[in-house]
């Protein structure tokens, strides 16, 4: 059974009415696969989260986003909203909590949406997948996706929020030239760039 059909039968809607972030289920999943490389369950849930958040804040709102995990959810924001890491409209917190907030960047009012594990009782495959209780080979991707599409927003919760921190763009500060490598870096890092202070993630390869 196709994911589109599963969703239609679960919520009783005809295909033209089944939309997530303005796309049909098939278009929604295709967009995820093209952007992310595969139909990641976390990104599919994230799409439903973004869709709900956008509905709650209303049309015509210039919004920023805060995401509380580095896994999958940032891609949902970047794919389905104008907010990206590059333009500074999305902040990512490495809290490993599956939650996001979308808010009016002028009034700093918005909504926080999160995966509510208590609500996954009717969808044990989602709970087992998220909590890593079942080996991947015992819980095929298609099964997890079908349950996520069937569940839709029913496994999510929301709350209105007033953003008090982490809003606005970060000031780049003063730029200097590192005495170690000769590259530009923010002077707030110290006398040398972080790489030259021992945080380099690579070794230089000498070619003969």
- Residue-wise pLDDT for 42-77, tens only, equals 999 999 999 999 999 999 999 999 999 999 999 999
The stretch 138-147 carries a mean pLDDT of 95
> Is a pLDDT exceeding 70 seen at residue 117?
yes
CATH of region 171-208, choose from 2.60.40.1180, 3.30.60.80, 3.20.20.100, 3.40.50.720? 3.30.60.80
pLDDT at residue 14 in the model = 38
The DSSP code for 199 is I
**Residue matched to tokens 């369950």:** 41
> Is a pLDDT exceeding 60 seen at residue 123?
yes
CATH of region 3-162, choose from 3.30.1330.130, 1.20.59.10, 3.40.1350.10, 3.10.180.10? 3.30.1330.130
Largest CA distance in the chain: 67
What residue segments make up the domains of the chain, in order of their start? 3-162, 171-208
Q: Would the CATH topology of 3-162 be identical to that of 171-208?
A: no
Is 39 in a helix, a strand, or coil? coil
The pTM for the full model equals 0.84
Measure CA of the first residue to CA of the last residue in the chain; give whole Å: 58
Report which of 150, 147, 156 is spatially closest to residue 102, judged by C-alpha positions: 156
């Amino acid at each position: 059974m196709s994911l589109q059909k599963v969703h239609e039968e679960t919520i009783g809607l005809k295909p033209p009415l089944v939309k997530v972030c303005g796309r049909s289920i098939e278009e929604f999943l295709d967009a995820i696969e093209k952007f992310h490389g595969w139909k990641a369950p976390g990104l599919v849930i994230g799409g439903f989260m973004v869709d709900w958040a956008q509905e709650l804040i209303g049309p015509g709102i210039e919004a920023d986003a805060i995401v509380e995990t580095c896994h999958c959810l940032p891609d949902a924001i970047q794919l389905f909203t104008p907010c990206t890491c590059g333009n500074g409209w999305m902040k990512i917190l490495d809290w490993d909590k599956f939650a996001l907030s979308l808010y009016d960047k002028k009034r700093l009012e918005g909504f926080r949406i999160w995966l509510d594990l208590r609500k996954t009782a009717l969808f044990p495959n989602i709970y087992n997948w998220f909590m890593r209780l079942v080996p991947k080979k015992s819980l095929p991707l298609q099964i997890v996706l079908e349950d996520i599409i069937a569940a839709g927003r029913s496994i999510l919760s929301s709350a209105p929020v007033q953003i008090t921190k982490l809003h606005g763009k970060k000031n780049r500060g003063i730029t200097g030239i590192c005495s170690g490598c000769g590259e530009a870096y923010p002077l707030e890092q110290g006398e040398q760039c972080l790489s030259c202070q021992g945080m380099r993630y690579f070794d230089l390869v000498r070619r003969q």
